[in-house]
Structure 1
């Protein structure tokens, strides 16, 4: 065995390869860093786990925090017994990004899609409508927000996740949006920062 005194990418990869060569399965490791006297947990992708309290006064109906800089979505259920962290795609530029508080007002399993008027101006070649299915840009599920045209939805194009690639919405892998869809309800509060 080896001693792991400081976890960083190089040490993790070296240690994991050592374990793999020796035939020992490497567990998923989490990192803890000290920031101002407070321990902060990171998963191996370096997404930070967050506490809901600095962002919401309560978690009534559940709470979603979308960090557009880190490109990650945090979810807490109403009684705070469940916390989920999902990588996302975020809007391509600041002009398409809307920040602030909203909520889920509608949930659709198998959504259809129509481009917004501004999308049609930017991309006149796009179709006017795409029904549910494998070609739909909203993926398998969509959470409609109280802001017109804004959604948290799946995507068929998994290359978009982790990038500034959307026209204003927040995109998740289809398996992640299906899970989040089951956990949320109309009235779930949402904050985009």
Structure 2
């Protein structure tokens, strides 16, 4: 089985290193880089969020469990909806999951993102993807991991997804913020290892 890692808006593939080190060796690990992000060369055919999403989904070509953080969760949902035969499990960490966040009191990350990642295309922060009407059709075992100190994706978002996704379980990291998959990798790894053992 393959574990696919989908980073957040920074596209930093090294974000996952502390977590990957603690996951079972009998799984292959695939960290998908986003062309045009975090030092990865741009791709001539990627000009929009949809193009990038299609590119990411196309990289998944074997039975896989998706582990996604923040904006990476949108790609994970897209892959789950498009490749139902290949996606065997889903771990969403501090993400929107492609739902409209306007009803939640979330911190707007876009301005800070533009300042920090000047090379990233503008369409990445202006896109609005809405998969909400399709989420209830997802019937694979899903682990949701949120931090209770995350202003970008507060626990109310995780609780909402836990209601919509039929086979989901929500775990909350005490004191965890938006970077909890890296900063609290030990605790997150315990939850994912238990999920892999029990659910997949």
TM bracket (short chain): under 0.3
**Which structure has more strand as a fraction of its residues?**
1
Structure-2-length-normalised TM-score: 0.22
Q: If you compute each CA radius of gyration, which structure gives the higher value, 1 or 2?
A: 1
**Which structure has more helix as a fraction of its residues?**
2
Structure-1-length-normalised TM-score: 0.22
